[in-house]
Structure 1
Amino acid sequence: MDQSLWSDIEVVKLSRKFVCARLATYEDAKEGKFLESIFRGRSGQLENTVFVLMAPDGKTKLSSSGRSPRMVFGGSEGWESTVLALEMLEVSEKYPWKEKSNGRPNLPINKDLRRAINVASCDRQLLVIAHQLPKETIEILSKIAWGDQHIGQFAWEITSDENEFPGAGMENPKPGIFIGNPDEFGLKLNWLKTLSPNAKEEAILTALAEVLKTKRASEKSTRLHVSRGKRLSKSWESEIPNTDPQIPPPNRRN
């Protein structure tokens, strides 16, 4: 995902009229198979990124499919998010949506902490981890995640197993809210803030405002990123084989 597109304020507003599904490519066999049915590049195999707009039936394509909104809709440099927003607006007008729905969506989480860190790094977002929290605190986080102030600004994850944390750079975590900045390769977190498992909404909002001042990584150049990963012996083990021709074998670097 290109954060510069999906964090654009107009795109975020229009996204509320869509069901936005971010599926895994090489991190989930079933989802990878579905994505492969939507788009295959010149290689004829599943590639690392896939984008398409679909009708409410989840089957009918409302746009061409490709690796990204830029590939599908185009747009000169600096105007890509505007082009995407206009396309989304046109589609949304053909499919009226309900102004209000019952309840609130759950936190948008990944399959596990390891993958949450990697996704957050790819998207150049800070990661908020809800570890062994009471239901009431989870509901507060969900409210914040989908609220106008912070929607699209953070990656989120819910954990219950402390054994997930050593790989991320933390030993024996106690229940609480942890906010971290993923490293360049999405393998570990630089820990920024820790909050009580019973933290109130105001305290959480204050903490989020503070960490947002943290310097975020610039947009990555794939060529330079892969080259640096090789040089530093950084690697990523995916659930299914990586078949993207733009990521060089045999040891595909993150």
Structure 2
Amino acid sequence: MFSQKEFIEASRAFVCVRLESYENEKHQKMVRSFLNGRFENTAFCLLSPDGESRLSGTGRSPSQGLRRGRGAGQRGVIEAMEHVAAGFRARASKQGAVVQDFHSFRQALNVASGDQRLLLFVVAPGGEREELRLRLRPLMSDTEIVGRFHVDFAEEHPDARWREAVKGEAGRAGFFVIRANAFGQTGTVVEEVPLTSGLGELESVLLKANASFARTEKRKVYSDHVAKGRRAGIYFENEMAYGEERDADGVIDHRRGRDAGPAGGERRRPPAGRRGAPRGERRPGAPPSRRPGGRD
């Protein structure tokens, strides 16, 4: 749904926030607040401009959060979003939208690979970054650019060794257009533009690079991609514990199996049984189970 043109157009009336649930504890707590204490890799909710009051229900997806069953389809979700948006008047133009920034370059490269977009990586002295963020706002909000790139600003501590992950010339500072490899572990600098360049020049470079990228990037088939990654031993180390937590006990669920990480840490155990007890385990005080036609 998120990649559909109609949904994207409806989302323009909102400030869209993508929580970094495996990189930030505060964000993960917010996901839990939307899922009654559980933690899973997706959650959805519409919030008022204060960022706190809920304008919809919550759930794993827009259709769940907006209480639109499968029968309503995408059109029902879009109509619900448009109805909510109609109750608010924008106080600023879309051209003033805040420019994206990740927690680290390695995360930005990984997400760019997963979303199959080019990454615009901005490397500048600390004193110049805020001015660059403001200067890039109209460009990254332009209809020809928005949604086609990810953007990240280099920080001293987490990104000190970013050049080790990329091929191609990479100067000390500049706008670097980077193409991530299939698994987001490394990348290649395809274009480099000086920080002093005008927005028109940067836009031209971005559009040219994206046109080439679109012609040569093969769409990933999720199941095949995951299988190849497992065979190659690919693993991305998150800042937060990897996996989901479906019984709301505050601890990530683990199990042995095909989703295991390199050290045997797994994503989650099977879904909980009745009242949150794992299947096959009795709740304290519960009567012993009986096998059909037999005794305890």
Task: Give the TM-score, by structure 2 length.
Answer: 0.70
Q: Distance in 2 between matches of 1:86 and 1:113?
A: 37
Deviations 1:164-192 (A, max 9, x none): 31342158632111111222212222321
State whether residues 169 and 189 of structure 1, in contact with CA within 8 Å, keep that contact through their aligned partners in structure 2: yes
Q: Does 1:39 align with 2:35?
A: yes
The corresponding residue for 1:124 is 116
Aligned to 2:243: 243
* Contact residue 170 and residue 176 of structure 2 kept, 8 A: no
Alpha-carbon RMSD across the aligned residues, in angstroms, is: 3.2
Partner of 1:185: 183
Decide whether aligned partners of structure 1 residues 103 and 185 sit closer, same or farther in structure 2, where only a CA change above 3 A counts: closer
Contact kept, 8 Å, 1:45 with 1:243, in 2: the verdict is: no
Encode CA deviations 1:50-70: one digit per residue, 9 max, x unaligned: 222223343443334333336
Residue of 150, 163, 166 corresponding to 1:169? 166
What amino acid maps onto 1:16 in structure 2?
A: R
* Higher RCO (Cα < 8 Å, 6 or more apart): 1
Q: Is the 8 A contact 1:130 1:138 kept in 2?
A: no
Where structure 1 has 5 or more consecutive residues not aligned to the other structure, the ranges are: none
Query: 1:4: how far off?
Result: 1.4
Structure 2 Cα separation of the partners of residues 71 and 184 of structure 1 = 32
Q: Deviations over 1:53-111 (max 9, x none)?
A: 223343443334333336554668xx74x554333211111x22225369923311111
* Partner-residue secondary structure (3-state), 1:212: helix
Q: Which amino acid aligns with 1:51?
A: F
Q: What is residue 81 of structure 2 aligned with on the other side?
A: 88
Counterpart in the other structure of 1:232: 232
Bigger Rg, which one = 2
Q: Does 1:146 align with 2:141?
A: yes
- 1:28-107 aligned at under 5 Å gives the runs 28-39=24-35, 45-69=38-62, 72=65, 73=68, 80=74, 82-93=75-86, 95-98=87-90, 100=92, 104-107=96-99
Gaps of 5+ in 2: 245-252, 267-296
**Counterparts in 2 of 1:1-16, with a 5 A limit?**
4-5=3-4, 8=5, 10-16=6-12
Candidates 157, 170, 174, aligned match of 2:152: 157
Whole-Å separation in 2 of the counterparts to 1:35 and 1:174: 38
Could you tell which deviates more after superposition, 178-187 or 135-144? Answer: 135-144
CA–CA separation in structure 1 for the residues paired with 2:94 and 2:142: 15
**Distance verdict in 2 for CA 1:59–1:142, change over 3 Å:** closer
- Write the distance in 1 (CA, Å) between the matches of 2:45 and 2:210: 30
In 1, distance between residues paired with 2:148 and 2:240?
29
SS in 2 for 1:119: helix
CA contact (8 A) 2:170 2:192 kept: no
Cα shift at 1:137: 4.6
Q: TM-score of the superposition, structure 1-length normalised?
A: 0.80
Residue 179 of structure 1: SS of its match in structure 2? Answer: strand
Cα distance, 1:220–1:71 mapped onto 2, change above 3 Å: farther
CA change 1:75–1:207 in 2 (3 A) is: farther
Q: Are the counterparts in 2 of residues 27 and 240 from structure 1 also a CA contact under 8 Å?
A: yes
Q: Which amino acid in the other structure matches residue 159 of structure 1?
A: A
Q: CA deviation at 1:217?
A: 4.2
Distance 1:17 1:155, change over 3 A: same
Once the 2 structures are TM-superposed, how far is the Cα of residue 112 of structure 1 from its aligned partner? Answer: 1.2
Contact 1:32/1:46 (8 A) holds in 2: yes
By how many angstroms is 1:142 displaced?
2.0
